[in-house]
């Protein structure tokens, strides 16, 4: 294999040897050697100079021509340069493609630094958020979009759930905003227009609310007549007694479904935060327990309530009543006669807890994730038999969402279940009797 270094060493050796021979021949060995070494040095310096010139002025495409080791050096640098050029071209093509695709994206995308300064954004961000390409790069996004919910969302630093908010440009658009942290201290802000989705959701909600509302009056009339027919002591009542009782049962069931659907629609439709006022939870629980004992009747469940009597909540009384009663009545419905139901209302520094524990039939784990869906029942027959609508836990879920609370469910088949509602600490009211006396 041709090795330029060996050739170079040979060449240098030959030149020095020739100079040595000539020097010996003429009788000036040192002089001739010096001349040879200087010539070699000059040649190398000349090529170093050409290399430096060429490197400095790299736009000149072709490297200087040279023989020997310098030709090799030029060639390798040239190859490196060509490779870098190709890589650069590929990278900039990729970058262009990336820019084009993010610009074409219908969703607004903004790259933010750790302190929420804008680093880059696509075309949709200009239309959705009104960002200006030159002026706004480097600005803090919360200085440009000042909607309180948006500022709070950024500050809270919890991006598990998207934020829904109206367009900061005015108009009736609704946006869903997501923040995705990535790379080193960078955040991607994604904004999606969900106006159509919201409108459809609204149409669905209105439809369910209207149908339920329209059904309520006819059902009440039917229930009224059925009651009269059942109470009458004529031939018709005697003949149709069983049928009338069944019709009454089904009508009552339909009324309960309609009432539950209306309750759900009401919860979905409003911005609940505006409706909050002090709620005496202990009083609600006392009346829920009384009703639960009435429902249990001859089944003789042992219902035990332990309750912090100073623990009130900022919330909506009707909604809270629905949440608590649905959980307690479910415990009665799904616990065999004589079973034990323990209700607790207490607090710690993290929040307030409402807990219902029963020794009932329990729920197997595969049902737990879907339990709060509308009309989802583990055993539809049993649910209907106990007068269930399949909407109870959906109401509980919505009711808790209205109070920024969450539901935790633990259950074991055959052993019992524990449903726990966790309310945030900022909704707690420490209601002291002395304050009550002062108020009155």
Residues forming the site for ligand ADP (CB under 6 A): 326, 330-331, 334, 358, 360-363, 371, 376-379, 383, 388-394, 417
**Partners of residue 344 on adjacent β-strands:** 306, 355
* In the complex, least distance from residue 281 CB atom to ligand ADP, rounded to whole angstroms: 20
DSSP 373: S
Write the DSSP assignment of 389-431 as a string of letters.
Answer: -S-HHHHHHHHHHHTT-EEEEEEETTTEEEEEEEEEGGGEEE-
> Minimum distance between the CB of residue 293 and ligand ADP, rounded to whole angstroms?
16
Find the shortest distance in angstroms from Cβ 436 to ligand ADP: 34
Which residues lie closer than 8 Å to 4 by C-beta, 6 or more apart?
Answer: 68, 69, 71, 72
For ligand ADP, which is the closer residue by CB, 322 or 389? 389
Number of C-beta neighbours around residue 268 at 10 A:
17
Q: Is the dihedral of CA 319, 324, 325, 329 positive or negative?
A: positive
Between 334 and 423, name the residue whose CB sits nearer to ligand ADP.
Answer: 334
User: Closer CB to ligand ADP, residue 311 or residue 395?
Assistant: 395
Q: In angstroms, rounded to a whole number, what is the distance separating the alpha carbons of residues 136 and 130?
A: 10
Instruction: Give me the helix-helix angle, 317-333 and 281-296, nearest 10°.
Output: 30
* Cα-Cα-Cα-Cα dihedral sign, residues 200, 201, 204, 205: negative
Element (H, E) at 11: helix 4-26
Helical spans, DSSP H, in 60-165: 68-104, 123-129, 141-144, 148-156
Q: Are 166 and 180 in contact (CB under 8 A)?
A: no
Q: Of 264, 258, 385, which is closest to residue 322 (Cα–Cα)? A: 264
If the CB atoms of residues 147 and 420 are measured against ligand ADP, the closer one turns out to be: 420
Q: Which is nearer to ligand ADP, 138 or 414 (CB)?
A: 414
Between 351 and 362, CB nearer to ligand ADP: 362
In the complex with ligand ADP, the residue whose CB is nearer, 72 or 355, is: 355
Q: Are 303 and 292 spatial neighbours (Cβ–Cβ below 8 Å)?
A: yes
Q: Smallest gap, in angstroms, from Cβ of residue 377 to ligand ADP?
A: 3
- Which residue carries 């989705």 as its tokens? 197
We find the least distance from the C-beta atom of residue 289 to ligand ADP, in angstroms, to be 15
Looking at the Cβ atoms of 167 and 326, the one nearer to ligand ADP is 326
- Which CB, 23 or 360, lies closer to ligand ADP? 360
- CA 380: distance to chain centroid? 32
Q: Least Å distance between CB 156 and ligand ADP?
A: 31
Chain-centroid distance, C-alpha 427? 23
Tell the smallest beta-carbon distance from residue 336 to ligand ADP (Å): 11
Query: In the bound complex, what is the minimum distance in angstroms from residue 178's beta carbon to ligand ADP?
Result: 30
Closest approach of Cβ 330 to ligand ADP, in Å?
3
């Amino acid at each position: 294999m041709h090795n330029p270094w060996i050739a170079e060493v040979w060449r240098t050796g030959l030149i020095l040897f020739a100079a040595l021979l000539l020097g010996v021949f003429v009788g000036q060995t040192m002089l001739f050697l010096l001349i040879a070494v200087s010539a070699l040095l000059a040649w190398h310096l000349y090529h170093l100079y050409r290399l430096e010139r060429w490197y400095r002025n790299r736009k000149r495409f072709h490297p200087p021509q040279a023989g020997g080791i310098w030709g090799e050096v030029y060639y390798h640098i040239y190859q490196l340069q060509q490779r870098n050029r190709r890589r650069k071209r590929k990278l900039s093509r990729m970058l262009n493609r990336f820019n084009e695709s993010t610009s074409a994206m219908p969703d607004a995308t903004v790259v933010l630094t750790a302190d929420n300064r804008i680093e880059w954004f696509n075309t949709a961000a200009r239309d959705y958020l009104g960002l200006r390409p030159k002026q706004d790069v480097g600005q803090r996004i919360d200085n440009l979009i000042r909607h309180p919910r948006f500022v709070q969302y950024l500050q809270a630093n919890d991006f598990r759930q998207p934020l829904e908010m109206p367009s900061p440009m005015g108009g009736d658009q609704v946006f869903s905003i997501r923040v995705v942290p990535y790379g080193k201290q960078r955040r991607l802000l994604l904004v999606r227009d969900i106006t159509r989705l919201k409108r459809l959701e609204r149409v669905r909600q209105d439809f369910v609310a209207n149908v339920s509302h329209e059904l309520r009056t006819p059902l009440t009339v039917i229930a009224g007549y059925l009651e009269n027919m059942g109470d009458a002591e004529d031939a018709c009542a005697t003949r149709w007694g069983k049928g009338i009782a069944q019709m009454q049962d089904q009508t009552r069931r339909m009324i309960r479904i309609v009432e539950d659907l209306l309750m759900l629609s009401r919860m979905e439709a409003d911005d609940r935060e505006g409706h909050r006022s002090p709620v005496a939870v202990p009083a609600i629980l006392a009346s829920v327990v009384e009703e639960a004992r009435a429902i249990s009747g001859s089944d003789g469940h042992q219902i035990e309530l332990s309750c912090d009597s100073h623990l009130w909540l900022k919330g909506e009384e009707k909604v809270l009543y629905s949440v608590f009663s649905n959980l307690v009545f479910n415990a009665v419905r799904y616990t065999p006669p004589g079973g034990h139901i323990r209700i607790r209302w207490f607090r710690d520094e993290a929040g307030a807890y409402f807990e219902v524990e029963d020794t009932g039939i329990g729920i197997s784990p595969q049902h737990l994730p879907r339990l709060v869906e509308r009309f989802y029942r583990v055993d539809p027959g049993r649910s209907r038999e106990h007068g269930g609508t399949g909407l109870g836990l959906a109401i509980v879920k919505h009711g808790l969402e209205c109070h920024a609370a969450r539901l935790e469910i633990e259950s074991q088949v055959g052993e019992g279940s524990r449903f726990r509602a966790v309310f945030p600490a900022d909704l707690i009211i420490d209601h002291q009797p002395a304050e009550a006396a002062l108020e009155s």
